[in-house]
Structure 1
């Protein structure tokens, strides 16, 4: 009997991870108390066996922004900023590991993985294999899994109408989707990154794609012209939001400008060096840096 989308996503997301990662997640959510609902581990570090020296990526899912920031004794404006332009991003360290974590409410998680999302940032990442490394209870785990099931459906609904139906590659629709999402944000990664994402777990994408095809028969129902308009809006909004989130991170993310330089140097092969004044005025530095990177092609 063919597996359902729910069972496939649950089998992937609920796999155990390195205990160091689980311990790290517990340390991150501790200040949020009972408002913490789940922690999702995602990104390129998920594919690495050696984590020292890397920057892990987490999403911390909370019940409510105001309550979460009160519990963590963080400034009230952070809750308002998180609601206005989600998510907020913070740095963290635990033992020998370093990470950044994004804070998102359960309601925003569900919306950001659905067709109602205004940008690709969450569903593009959660359409890939991820892990739920902690959850408050079975209800929190179930809500996170529902969002993780919605994310690949959202990606394929957007990708199917614009994919080359004559392509012999059975994973072409996934490659199309990830190529389009990478183009809908300011990204430093090289042009072959979408292919590498798919090639890391081809069996996963094949099985999930088959399950979605069975369970969502109208996957390509959106007319191509409408799909192209949606992608155009996602690109325009996504690039604006990238800059806005970067500006916001200059207030929430100590050392954020150094992380930005490290990330771009790692993925684009550049040699960006951050100067003392840029650390002192990270918002101004970001505003100056982004246009230069766009002009040079390091960020697209």
Structure 2
């Protein structure tokens, strides 16, 4: 591997992780091992090493229908609007470990790491460090490494297009994370994008120019340490217009995923309400009828979210 992006990603995928994360991955494999191509651990708990929160996993499937073959409706939803999200729990050293497990096929995952993907949530997450807790074989591990290197390249290209005309690599990454948070159904505290970038600041700085090169974007390195990506005014304007469309679509896509989650796993309606309140600050009270009939209640919940301003 001569590419600095792939070398960096390969080292991150091999990083040691907390035993609680390994225990959760083992629980997933015991239940669905034959369907799993790879398991990735990512997010705030990976960064902090704190297992008291909700651990974040992506399970990459060999094919879409292999996860819960006895539930064809689940397979249909996974094909239409990936990923599926489930809450898992397992016991480790006498205490309960909880996780959010996103499920997606390898093909769907790869498609959503490309620069033209409207689904900004996946490549934005996996431009950040992740650990590989399971790969079916060496070929699967190599595939994951290449896929996450593409996520870094996609993120770098959008950082260049959405960031300043000239600036430090840190400024470009902060601009990117601000934009990607803005395309989701969430209201983060001020400085959140800076915190994410600062958690691995030297890593992001080192990957910015190699990431651009992988996407064919040239950049000038200036004597004061700043960078100027070689982009025309027209390219920047087109990128900004595209991003405005994606931002609107992204919020509705995330609402649709939450509504789907409300009836694709037990307790999903309450998860939907909790997630919306956590990220938008808007409470969505649910009636007993809505909890019993989440599919029938979904249109009303969407209308309530729209009226309350959670989705614009």
Name the TM-score, length of structure 2 as normaliser: 0.83
In structure 2, the CA distance between the partners of 1:241 and 1:269, relative to structure 1 (3 Å rule), is closer
**Greater Cα radius of gyration, structure 1 or 2:** 2
Number of aligned pairs?
294
Offset from partner CA, 1:107-154 (integer Å, 9 cap, x none): 111111112322112101111111111111111111111111111211
- Tell me the residue number matched to 2:225: none
CA contact (8 A) 1:184 1:235 kept: yes
State how 1:252-291 maps to structure 2 within 5 Å.
252-266=264-278, 275-283=287-295, 287-288=299-300
- Tell me the residue number matched to 1:134: 134
Structure with the bigger RCO (C-alpha within 8 Å, sep 6+) is 1
In structure 2, the CA distance between the partners of 1:269 and 1:49, relative to structure 1 (3 Å rule), is farther
How far apart in 2 are the matches of 1:195 and 1:287?
Answer: 36
Q: Secondary structure at the match of 1:69?
A: coil
Gaps of 5+ in 1: none
- Tell me the residue number matched to 2:110: 110
- Tell me the residue number matched to 1:251: 263
- Tell me the residue number matched to 2:62: 63
In structure 2, the CA distance between the partners of 1:131 and 1:274, relative to structure 1 (3 Å rule), is farther
How far apart in 2 are the matches of 1:46 and 1:283?
Answer: 34
How far apart in 1 are the matches of 2:164 and 2:142?
Answer: 35
Matched, 1:205 2:207: no
CA contact (8 A) 1:38 1:61 kept: yes
Matched, 1:79 2:75: yes
Offset from partner CA, 1:60-88 (integer Å, 9 cap, x none): 10111123332xxx311211211111111
CA contact (8 A) 1:188 1:299 kept: no
Q: Which aligned segments of 4 or more residues in structure 1 are displaced greater than 3 angstroms?
A: 213-217, 219-222, 260-278, 281-300
Q: Which moved more, 1:95-104 or 1:39-48?
A: 39-48
- Tell me the residue number matched to 1:121: 121
CA contact (8 A) 2:305 2:311 kept: yes
Q: Secondary structure at the match of 1:190?
A: coil
Q: Secondary structure at the match of 2:119?
A: coil
Gaps of 5+ in 2: 219-228
